[in-house]
Structure 1
Amino acid sequence: MDEKRTINPILKTGLELGPIVLFFIAYLRLKDQIFTIGGTDYEGFILVTAAFIPVILLSTAILWKLTGHLSKMQIMTAVLVTVFGGLSVWLNDDRFFKMKPTLIYLIFGGLLGIGLLRGQSWLRMVMEELMPLDHDGWMKLTRRLCLFFFGLAIANEVIWRTQSTETWVYFKTFGLTIALFAFFMLQGRLFRDHALPDDDAKDENAKDDNA
């Protein structure tokens, strides 16, 4: 198994967000154009979606090559982009690609919910190194994030079903990102109240390693 390696944070952020930014820029340039390929007319959104698939796969592959590691979210995002983006291009129907964020948030909300029903915080397994919290803190954060993911899934469904494609692209590019950032910013009190001192955090990690 490859050892997990660290890379420049700016490069990492560029590889993670770069494809989304390129998608947004390409959409703005091609949104009003129609392209005829093989006798079939395709809107600019469909062509941008077709280009987005290899871009996200390439950026994911580079991340894996540089770090030796991919998170479950990165893997699932790449798979769902390929499947739903491919369906949108193949069937010339943008609805499949627009449903992708809904499915992603339902899956992650559902997984967190299953862990909670088992009395566990599966979020802790992913983020413990970034935020050392006590057990109650992880359970509270997981419950909140679970509900938040379900809320994002509902919001995405409402936006793409009731608004224009352009509105949905802005929502996907900026709205979802801002919402996630705001969610974690609003958890400041929880982080303060449930943060573990350095010694306790090391003891918790040691217990988990020996479990």
Structure 2
Amino acid sequence: MKFLYDLLPVILFFISYKFYGIYTATAVAIATTLLQIMIALITKKTVDKMLIFNGFIITFLGGLTILFQDKTFIMWKPSVIYWLLSAVLVISALLFNKNLLKKSLGTQIKLNDKNWSRLNIVTAVFFVLLGFINLYVAFNYDENTWVNFKLFGITGILFIYMIFVTIFVSKVSKE
């Protein structure tokens, strides 16, 4: 259920886009994300860092999209998010000797430090590649194709990546 809740801004963006176009869809995505942040503040008293991060990026790039009536900004959003996530994973590991994947998933997944490092590197590279794939679709195909890719393509790619991670974890957790 949390997965669908997290996807809500993207789903509402998609639906709004189909009926009203990219600028209305962008406003809906901004409003939905900010509403999720407010709901989290009211019900949990704390807000997930990823939600705040996403809220900042969607508000900034979405705001520029609406202000300048230029869809380029919103098309960059997934890439910016994936590249920043990749940078955070790499920088935290290299400069601070902290594996954020291990910190967030370590209670659920049992791996040795070597395999946590592998998973961290592979995930960082995956996010870089996903950012480039998003830009490739955004600037080589029409707007409608990009919107469909944003919901179905990226979600599908993330799902496939999670399958590979699950296979990797099940293989190396026996070591």
Same-fold call, TM > 0.5?
A: yes
> Partner amino acid for 1:158?
Y
Instruction: State the partner residue of 2:149.
Output: 171
TM-superposed CA distance for 1:68, in Å, is: 3.6
Displacement of 1:171: 1.0
CA deviation string 1:78-120 (max 9, x = no partner) = 1100000000000111111111111111111111112332454
The runs of at least 4 aligned residues of structure 1 exceeding 4 Å deviation read none
Q: Among the aligned pairs, what percent are the same residue?
A: 28
Q: 1:153 matched to which residue of 2?
A: 131
In structure 1, runs of 5+ residues without a counterpart are: 1-9, 31-43, 197-211
CA contact (8 A) 1:136 1:194 kept: no
- Cα offset for 1:132? 2.9
Given residue 128 of structure 1, which amino acid in structure 2 is its aligned partner? G
Residue of 79, 83, 87 corresponding to 1:110: 87
The root-mean-square deviation of aligned C-alpha atoms, in Å, is 2.0
Question: Matches of 1:19 and 1:107 in 2, distance apart?
Answer: 19
Show structure 2 runs of 5+ residues with no match.
none
1:62 to 13, 29, 39: 39
* Whole-angstrom distance in 1 between the partners of 2:113 and 2:34: 36
State the AA in 1 paired with 2:153. G
SS state at 2:110 partner? coil
Deviation at 1:134, TM superposition (A): 1.9
User: How big is each residue's C-alpha offset from its partner over 1:9-28, in whole Å with a ceiling of 9 and x where there is no partner?
Assistant: x2x33432222211111111
Which of residues 85, 88, 92 is equivalent to 2:62? 85
TM-score of the two chains, using structure 1 as the length reference:
0.75
SS at 1:29 equivalent: helix
Q: Is the 1:56–1:78 Cα contact (8 Å) retained in structure 2?
A: yes
Secondary structure of 2:169 counterpart: helix
Question: What amino acid maps onto 1:154 in structure 2?
Answer: F
- Paired position in structure 2 for 1:4: none
Larger helix proportion of the pair: 2
